[in-house]
Amino acid sequence: MTAFALDPGQEKWCAELRTLAAERFVPLAAAGEPGRVNRPLVAALGEYGLLERLFDAGALDLCLLRESLAYGCTEAETALALQGLGSYPLVQAGTAQQRRRLLPDVVAGRAVAAFALSESGAGSDAAALALKAAPDGPGWRLTGGKCWISNAPDADFYTVFARTTEGAGARGVTAFLVPADRPGLTGSRLDMLSPHPIGTLDFDGVPVGPEDVLGEPDRGFRVAMNTLNLFRPSVGAFAVGMAQAALDATLVHTSRRTAFGGPLKDLQTVAHQVAEMATRTEAARLLVHAAAAACDAGAPGIAKRSAMAKLFATETAQYVVDAAVQLHGARALQRGHLLEHLYREVRAPRIYEGATEVQRTIIAKELYG
């Protein structure tokens, strides 16, 4: 496979995923409660082997998986991605005992994971973490808070990044595995524009020991960045899936809807708008695939490629969904319409896992470096 074309096996797999999303996952998503973890949906992802595939997949397969699910069911895509984001630090840095204890239930869809990095005062500047890990015998006590944490407060365990050395910036952060039932850990839900679960976590002297450390003390920031570098191109894939869904809905609508004596597609201004939507969507897809292929090949410049893919794809999806709403008119803003749903979903990816402005900073730093 090149970065520019999928082989027949990949095309077939993507089509099967889109069908599975529409037929199996959409009803489960519709039955869930917005803002809460949909455990039947997570279990179904495990039942169909997609969570196992998530951890076995290379970067390109991860992107194809996320794009295909996003096209048919954004809730399924998000549930899968959050399992990966919360558990990948365990995969890359956990001990064999930690992985044996937690990963089987994650892969089966029985346990829900969460990635707890952001704080109210440390979002884009992730190295400015204030959650304190104070020494306590052989371990530590966590005190402080986390904010904007996907799957909180419903997750079964959290990958938590806390400051173990004051004044050391990124070099003084440690990653911990923290079960949800650990004493002193509480949380609350946030009512957000997008429908997926997100909340805050409060740590009131939560005990953690050496057996809870992921990797090495004071080396946790690299665990976080390795996770984000893997998932950034696939955030772009999520965006491409939404853009393609909006584009396909627009092609159908503008072919059928009549105005001024003919179908909308016969109006040059409409046809040119759709052409622009399609071109940007394809460009975003190629940039995502190229970044993922480079990641799988171990090519240099992964940080730059990942940032470019995430930046361009999420900005493109915002443009395409907004243009689709405009071409559909008022019907697209009616609660329950596909585009109304996508309009709420498409905004957040431009912020999380590194905002657009952060991606530009990363790209510029890599260029000048």
Catalytic residue (choose from 119, 353, 357, 366): 353
Give yes or no: 276 in active site: no
Place of tokens 């173990």: 164
Which residue from 86, 116, 112, 82 is spatially nearest to 196, judged by alpha carbons? 82
Task: Give the tokens for residue 150.
Answer: 């996907």
At CA 348, angle to CA 269 and CA 14, rounded to 5?
75
Q: Closest Cα partner for 158 from 121, 202, 122?
A: 202
Q: Are 43 and 109 in contact (CB under 8 A)?
A: yes
Cβ pair 267, 259 in contact under 8 A: yes
Alpha-helix residue ranges (DSSP H) falling in the chain:
8-20, 26-31, 39-47, 50-56, 59-72, 74-93, 96-108, 220-256, 268-297, 302-328, 338-345, 356-368
For the chain, the C-alpha Rg in angstroms (whole number) is 21
- The catalytic residues are 353
